[in-house]
Amino acid sequence: MLRHPLLPYAALLETLPFFLQFLGLGLADRLGQGLCGSVFGVGEKEAVMYGLVSEYYLYGQVFLVFLALKVTYALGLALLRFMYEKGEPPGFEPLVWGLGVGLSWAFLLAFLLTRTLPLPFPSPLGLAWLSPAPLDPLSLLMVLPELPLLYLLYKLRP
């Protein structure tokens, strides 16, 4: 897996949603804010103080963590490729592959759940139901690379 010629394309598709999120900072009026748009521009302390914490802020934080994990995974793939360029890599390739597939499926599942269903959330007043987030074009652009990425990861299966 680590020396497969398609591995750089998989790493590129892993990082693409992270870089597409930056379009939401400049083109929010045309494309929407993206998956993490409601997090940017206001700190957590100010958001709590002024009552700006909504389900969209929570969803944005969840997807910000997902994007950070995806970029970390892509950088790890590049690092492992350079570390084991000539020698035989150790037997952890199935674990690395499974981590990538699991991360992509979790990202897709979180996107589908936050865009279609009201999700439960514990609050001081009891269980609250968070409303589904709106579907904007940038969010779709950020999630679309997951399908070819999953295909590539299944082709890279050790």
The pLDDT tens digits of the residues spanning 75-108 come to 998 898 888 877 667 788 889 899 999 999 999 9
Quickly state the pLDDT bin for 17 (edges 50, 70, 90). very high
Running DSSP on this structure, what letter comes out for residue 54? -
d(CA 45, CA 32): 24
| Residue 147 lies inside a defined structural domain of this protein | yes
Q: What is the DSSP string of 136-156?
A: -HHHHHHHTTHHHHHHHHHHT
pLDDT over 80 (residue 131)? yes
| Residue 109 lies inside a defined structural domain of this protein | yes
| Residue 2 lies inside a defined structural domain of this protein | no
More confident residue, 47 or 4: 4
pLDDT over 90 (residue 27)? no
- Furthest CA-CA distance within the chain: 59
Quickly state the pLDDT bin for 111 (edges 50, 70, 90). very high
- pTM for the predicted model, two decimal places: 0.85
Tell me the per-residue pLDDT of 53-63, one tens digit each, with 9 for 90 and over: 667 778 888 99
More confident residue, 90 or 155: 155
Running DSSP on this structure, what letter comes out for residue 39? T
pLDDT, residue 5, reads 86
Q: Which domain holds residue 147?
A: 7-155
pLDDT, residue 53, reads 63
Q: How many domains does the chain have?
A: 1
More confident residue, 41 or 153: 153
d(CA 87, CA 51): 55
| Residue 1 lies inside a defined structural domain of this protein | no
| Residue 146 lies inside a defined structural domain of this protein | yes
